[in-house]
């Protein structure tokens, strides 16, 4: 799809009409992806650009708020200080302001559309453990299914905990293992037992199944949303 450079707003020609053309072409491509229920990686990219736009806007305002004035004349008799603006908008800053003013509501509208699609897909997703969940659940198997399909995608997952001085958060990596044809005999529990027999590197793995009630693109919607749902589920277990 038509992508947008990370620094599209501030690099190159800062001209309102040109930036408007670039932005509208990008947002049209994003909308087309959403129309195909493709959330990833386009939604993450869209959010990144929107946050960057707001940061540029906030930084510009910060310049005015933090360094708004300088002493131009001091009246020591009346103890009055007369100030004048340090920062004055030149033509480039005016162009940038117009671009931001034009782009912000369009980004906000497209982000809302992406979130609505994300929430819709997430609501159609049922996530549950298979069998007894062991004490250690940061590594194991994730089964993915879409109704009315007849296949189960089996992934090995690993959740990593990142910490800094301010917060703790979790990331997840998955690796596709195999595709299994579902049937009356091949239950989720039987599939877990089969994996335990055939793969010794995970002797007591946590296993979860995520089932979408509707068909959605696997790589561009179901898998990334299932991964995020699993991380949220495991986070609640750890709380």
Percent of the chain with pLDDT over 90: 56
- Indicate the domain borders of the chain: 16-123, 125-238
The mean-pLDDT minimum among 73-77, 168-172, 205-209, 232-236 falls in 73-77
Least confident of 2-6, 23-27, 87-91: 87-91
pLDDT classification of 66: cutoffs 50, 70, 90? very low
* Residue 125 CB coordination number (10 Å): 20
What is the rounded CA–CA span in Å between residue 24 and residue 151?
39
Higher pLDDT, 57 or 48: 48
Mean residue pLDDT of the chain comes to: 85
CB 127 within 8 A of CB 208: yes
Residue 4: the pLDDT is 92
- Separation between Cα atoms, residue 194 and residue 65, nearest integer Å: 64
| pLDDT band at residue 37 using 50, 70 and 90 as cut-offs | very high
């Amino acid at each position: 799809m038509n992508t947008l450079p990370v620094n599209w707003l501030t690099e190159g020609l800062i001209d309102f009409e040109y930036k408007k053309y670039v932005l509208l072409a990008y947002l049209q491509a994003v909308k087309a992806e959403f129309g195909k229920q493709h959330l990833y990686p386009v939604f993450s990219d869209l959010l990144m650009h929107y946050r960057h736009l707001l940061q540029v806007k906030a930084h510009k305002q910060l310049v005015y708020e933090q360094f708004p004035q300088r002493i131009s004349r001091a009246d020591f008799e009346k103890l009055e200080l007369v100030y004048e603006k340090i920062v004055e908008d030149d033509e480039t800053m005016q162009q940038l302001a117009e671009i931001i003013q034009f782009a912000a509501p369009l980004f906000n509208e497209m982000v809302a559309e992406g979130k609505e699609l994300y929430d819709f897909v997430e609501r159609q997703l049922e996530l549950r453990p298979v069998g007894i969940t062991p004490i250690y659940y940061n590594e194991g198997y994730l089964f993915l299914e879409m109704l009315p399909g007849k296949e189960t995608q089996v992934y090995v997952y690993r959740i990593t905990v990142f910490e800094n001085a301010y917060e703790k958060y979790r990331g997840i990596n998955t690796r596709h293992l195999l595709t299994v044809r579902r049937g009356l005999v091949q239950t989720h529990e039987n599939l877990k037992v089969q994996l335990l027999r055939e793969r010794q590197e995970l002797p007591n793995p946590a296993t979860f199944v995520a089932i979408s009630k509707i068909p959605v693109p696997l790589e561009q919607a179901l898998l990334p949303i299932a991964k995020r749902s699993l991380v949220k589920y495991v986070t609640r277990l750890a709380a």
